[in-house]
Amino acid sequence: MSENGFTGTAEAPDQNALPQLGLLAQYVRDLSFENPNAPASLSPGRPPQIEVGVDVRAQNVGEDRYEVELRIGATAKHEDKITFVTEVVYAGLFSIRNVPQESLQAVCLIEGPRLLFPFARRVIADVTRDGGFPPLLLDPIDFVALFRQMQAQGQPQGQPS
């Protein structure tokens, strides 16, 4: 018996059998910004109404490798005129190992974009600021709720193939 009152040895779990998620690369796949009514849209006044859309997609690109795309689009309008339109497709290449097949979709469409979001958010903030507006700072996104909504709507585009 040891000093702490326990006998025997504890074996560390096999690290090769544990689920693993690794971010291998991240990048801007597509970025656009339009300011169609400049310079009139740059005059100070009431803040515009902003609509934001989010989509997540994933695909298998090799053995244990998945590309996850986080698509964020924002349209700002003042009255009926477009102030600005921006869209970013921010992607990451992930290594995913030892994840059961039934959990793979959730890992790709929840954990992948959760890791990518802060970087995509910064890109949107920078491009709106560089376009002459205050930076658009997006609120955090609940990717679990988004995943459940996609499942309820039967949207197959988000499924890793």
Digit-coded pLDDT (tens) for 17-65: 788 889 999 999 999 999 998 887 777 777 889 999 999 999 999 889 9
Question: What's the pTM value of the predicted model, to 2 decimals?
Answer: 0.81
Question: Would you call 104 helix, strand, or coil by DSSP?
Answer: helix
Is residue 98 within 8 A of residue 110, CB to CB? The reply is no
What confidence score (pLDDT) does residue 159 get?
46
Question: Would you call 121 helix, strand, or coil by DSSP?
Answer: helix
Position 84 in a domain: yes
Query: What φ, ψ does residue 66 adopt, rounded to 5°?
Result: -135, 140
Quote the number of domains for the chain: 1
What confidence score (pLDDT) does residue 14 get?
57
Position 31 in a domain: yes
Position 11 in a domain: no
Supply angle C-alpha 80, 86, 66, rounded to 5. 140
Digit-coded pLDDT (tens) for 54-104: 999 999 998 899 999 999 999 999 888 899 999 999 999 999 999 888 889
Digit-coded pLDDT (tens) for 105-144: 999 999 999 999 999 999 999 999 999 899 999 999 999 9
What confidence score (pLDDT) does residue 156 get?
56
Ranked by mean pLDDT, which of 2-6, 144-148, 149-153 comes out on top?
144-148
Q: Domain containing 33: what range?
A: 20-155
Q: Which residue has the higher pLDDT, 153 or 128?
A: 128
Tokens of 2: 């040891």
Position 135 in a domain: yes
Q: HSE (CB half, 13 Å, CA atoms) of 55?
A: 12
Q: Which residue has the higher pLDDT, 16 or 153?
A: 153
What confidence score (pLDDT) does residue 13 get?
55
